Amino acid sequence: MAELLCAGRAVMAVSPRFRAHAARALVRNADVADRFRVRNGAQHPRFGDGTLAAASRRAGMICGPTTCDRAFANALILVLQTLVDYRPDH
């Protein structure tokens, strides 16, 4: 759940019109970092350890919301839908 919350906070850090792109970039960057980690035994220098949380921290996040308002709920839904739809490029 913490991974999802971090990704939602990172998506919220960008303008609403760029949030879908930001969600796709987070998921892709976490995947790239995970593949790098497996292959090289070390964190990716730009995207971290392959988790959504690491990719989100490196992308930049808003401070944690005190409540889950509509905008934050939509950001979480966007991240979840992006994860469901994600097809890695091999």
Reading the chain (90 residues) residue by residue, the pLDDT tens digits are 889 999 999 999 999 999 999 999 999 999 999 999 999 999 999 999 999 999 999 998 888 776 788 999 999 999 999 999 998 875
pLDDT for the residue 90: 56
Q: Which domain holds residue 27?
A: 2-85
What are the DSSP calls for 9-48, one per residue?
A: HHHHTS-GGGHHHHHHHHHHHHHHHHHHHHHHSS-BTTTB
Total domain count for the chain? 1
Report if residue 80 sits inside a domain: yes
Nearest to 52 by CA among 31, 70, 30, 35: 30
pTM above 0.85, yes or no: yes
Q: How far is C-alpha 38 from the chain's CA centre?
A: 19
Residue 7 in domain: yes
Q: Is there a domain that residue 90 lies in?
A: no
Domain assignment present for residue 68? The answer is yes
Evaluate whether residue 67 is within a structural domain: yes
